[in-house]
Structure 1
Amino acid sequence: MLNVKKEGILLEKTNNGFENDSVCNPAAVREGDHVHLYYRAVRHGNYSSVGYCKLDGPLRIIERRKKPILFPEEPYESQGTEDSRITKIEDTYYLTYSAYDKINVFGAYATSKDLVTFEKQGIITPKFTYREFKHLIECCQGLSDKYLFHYKLFKEHGLGEELSRKLYVWDKNLFLFPKKIGGKLALIHRIHPGIQIVYFEDFGELTYDFWKDYMMNLEQYIIMDPKLHHESSHIGGGCPPIETKDGWLLIYHAAEDTPEGLVYHASAALLDLNDPKKELARLSQPLISPTYQWEKEGVVRNIIFPSGAVVFDDVLYIYYGAADSRVATASVSLEELLNELKKPENQSHVQH
């Protein structure tokens, strides 16, 4: 049995105006002996920005800024810049985040050379209404009915014609692999209920026509769909993949539908190093589940939301949002986790 240690709460809200309601869901990147965290900071009214703190080692805070490092500036992110992830490719850091305007959520990104100054680059995920999305994915074979979950939900609730033209497919939980694959950038993103991947040479390729063709062949780009009991609602990418000898280690979140509402867990999977569309293994049980009161009670109940991970001395440290209210950390031996994933009961037999 895996020994996962919950290190406890790392960050809580403060009296600073931009984070006086809650903090959660941090991006994490290690540079030398330091870890840089870019967390979701929420002020009253559910307005989100990106806060920053610096750790010496995986757990000791040595700096925490009193102002956000990234905040809403554009109309498409007027309600929040949320749930960032960070990846370094060559000499550039890519901070991906969810841009929320109170109706829609798009995936956007910013770049930096120094981890302090970030330049926003705009939206990169598709912009299709749910009605357009339904028409596009009708071309796909063998796609789960859950991909039309939101379309059916809005239809059942009698979504007005005007709003239906303004409401676009939510595309969240996006982050890049830390190296090019086959000479191309590789981006993980989440269109409910699964985890998908897209390859491209330059961000300029991600045009309306590019995404239209992509959606018409969506089944070819699905890495993982929910299939286990603790994934009964949906899954989504968590932490940017970590390269190991056995494959890309992906820590992701899994939402379980229960009589008391959704329960979010953290889990783990292995993807093929050369073709991450191939799922090699997936834990049959969650890696981390809400057990403490501070994980069960908060802005949203029963939430473990992993969004950043680093390795120190073969120990994997996972930074996660707890109950959408605070930032916490858990640790596990990387070798033990990989060995667990390689057990027969966790091997994947269905390839996309």
Structure 2
Amino acid sequence: MEIAEVKSLTAVKHGVVLEKTDRAFEALGVLNPAIYQDGNNVHMFYRAAKRGNFSTIGYCRFEGPKTLVERHTEPIFVPEYIYEIHGVEDPRIVKIDNKFYMTYVTYDGINACGALATSKDITSFKKKGIITPRFILNEFTNLIRKHLQTPSIARILAFNTERNYPLTETMKEHLYVWDKNVVLFPKKIDGKFIALHRLFPSIQIFSFEKKTDLTVEFWKDYIKNLPDHIILEPKYDHETSHIGPGAPPIETEDGWLLIYHAAEKREKGLVYHACAALLDLNDPSKVLSRLTKPIITPSEYYERHGYVNYVVFPTGTAIFDDLLYIYYGAADDKIAVASLNLNDLLTELKQNPHEDDIQ
């Protein structure tokens, strides 16, 4: 096992825990899993890609952090609607009160949105639809016009403007601003659901009492004041492209522990890392601390070579004793896990207070 150092912090890589099979629905790769821990059981809901890169969600179960004991031979969650015809991707899962909430990405071949599904038994899910804003670029530009000189807003526009597709002008009218990586907190705060999401390149936060609150008018007001909702922006050398929410936040005495991903621009392409920050327990829009270095970076062969090279993409966690296990997509076609001491991580975070430099 390889040990990667982050100052005094160490993350132990345990290697690949799930690989693709010859089953059609996962023949291209398995990646980016949602994790729900129930005692010694680790339930994994993973993105399964078939040839042509059409995605469904598969299921397996581990005893302890690494021992695979059950794996379904068919996906448990599949595309049903036109807005997800190309795939349901990158799930995250939390349990709030007596209900499971799974957020995931819908992809129609052009547009990526965040959606929600719920379950009472963790086996059958009912889709609730898209919960992120859906605005074509012109609408979005008009809504944020007063913030166009803000660097973070300019980057959002630049990313979406530069998306090059061989589309007719008619089709371009249906090209929405991408919104991905929706992650729910595992408890309500002041009676509201709290969620993180990513309008490229930063991490934003929103809250709602019920899904029907997320109206067009809600999102118009939100986008008009988008800089107010940004909690983390790319800042360090390993974040030169963008960042995004990873695993659902973990409640600790010191704050909400957020494991997020960061993409670094390099000459040969992007390199994805796993990173950590700490958010205020009562007001998670307030960032308390943030590590200046990644906690996991692609150094092993299985992280550097795959469907997309040099990718560590964290999406789920489990805790055994004092060890935090972080599950991640490795090179976009397999699933790996690494662990580090939770208390050591919190101590390291508290030694790196976050300076709020968002303009």
Query: Per the alignment, in what secondary structure is the counterpart of residue 4 of structure 1?
Result: strand
Counterpart residue type for residue 333 of structure 1:
N
Query: What are the within-5 Å matches in structure 2 for residues 144-159 of structure 1?
Result: 144=152, 145-154=154-163
Q: Does 1:51 align with 2:58?
A: yes
Query: What's the TM-score once normalised by structure 1's chain length?
Result: 0.96
Inter-partner Cα distance in structure 2 for 1:130 and 1:96: 24
Q: Which residue of 2 aligns with 1:30?
A: 37
Maintained 8 Å contact 1:99/1:105:
yes
Report what 1:167 is aligned to. Answer: 175
Q: 2:20 aligned with 1:13, yes or no?
A: yes
Is 1:121 aligned to 2:128, yes or no?
Answer: yes
Q: 2 CA distance for matches of 1:314 and 1:190?
A: 30
Secondary structure at the residue paired with 1:45? coil
- Partners of 2:92 and 2:247 within 8 A in 1: yes
In structure 1, what is the Cα distance between the partners aligned to 2:94 and 2:145?
Answer: 34
Shift of 1:158: 9.5
- Cα deviation, 1:97-144, whole Å, max 9, x if unaligned, reads 000010111111111111111111111111101121111112337452
Within 1, Cα distance between the matches of 2:226 and 2:322? 36
1:329 aligns with 2:344: no
The answer on whether the counterparts of 1:13 and 1:21 sit within 8 Å (CA) in structure 2 is: yes
Moved over 4 A (4+): 156-160
The one-character-per-residue Cα deviations of 1:33-59 (angstroms, maximum 9, x if unpaired) are: 101000000011101000000111111
Residue-by-residue CA offset, 1:194-213 (whole Å, 9 max, x unaligned): 00111111110101111011
Q: Show the counterpart of 1:349.
A: 355
For structure 2, list consecutive stretches of 5 or more residues without a partner in the other structure: 1-7
Q: Summarize the alignment of residues 165-244 of structure 1 with structure 2, pairs less than 5 Å apart.
A: 165-244=173-252
* Counterpart-to-counterpart distance in 2, 1:251 and 1:287: 9
- The CA distance in 1 between the partners of 2:244 and 2:90, in whole Å, is 12
- Give deviations 1:272-298, integer Å, cap 9, x for gaps: 111111111111011100001110011
Residue 160 (structure 1) shift: 4.9
The correspondence for 2:95, drawn from 88, 92, 99, is: 88
Residue type of the alignment partner of 1:252: Y
**How far 1:164 moved relative to its partner?**
2.3
In structure 2, distance between residues paired with 1:330 and 1:337: 13
Q: CA deviation at 1:351?
A: 6.5
Pairing 1:57-96 to 2, within 5 Å after superposition: 57-96=64-103
CA distance in structure 1 between the partners assigned to 2:280 and 2:225 by the alignment: 21
> In structure 1, the residue corresponding to 2:101 is in which secondary structure?
strand
Deviations 1:190-237 (A, max 9, x none): 100000111111110101111011000111111101111100000000
Q: Is the 8 A contact 1:133 1:169 kept in 2?
A: yes
User: How far apart are residue 163 of structure 1 and its match?
Assistant: 2.8
Provide the alpha-carbon RMSD of the alignment. 1.4
Deviations 1:60-99 (A, max 9, x none): 1110000001011111100100000001100000010000
Matched AA of 2:133: P
After superposition, residues 263-302 of structure 1 pair within 5 angstroms as: 263-302=271-310
**SS at structure 1 position matched to 2:9:** coil
Deviation at 1:10, TM superposition (A): 0.3
Question: How many residues were matched structurally?
Answer: 349
Secondary structure of residue in 1 paired with 2:95: strand
Q: TM-score when scaled to structure 2?
A: 0.94
Shift of 1:322: 0.3
Q: Is the 8 A contact 1:98 1:173 kept in 2?
A: yes
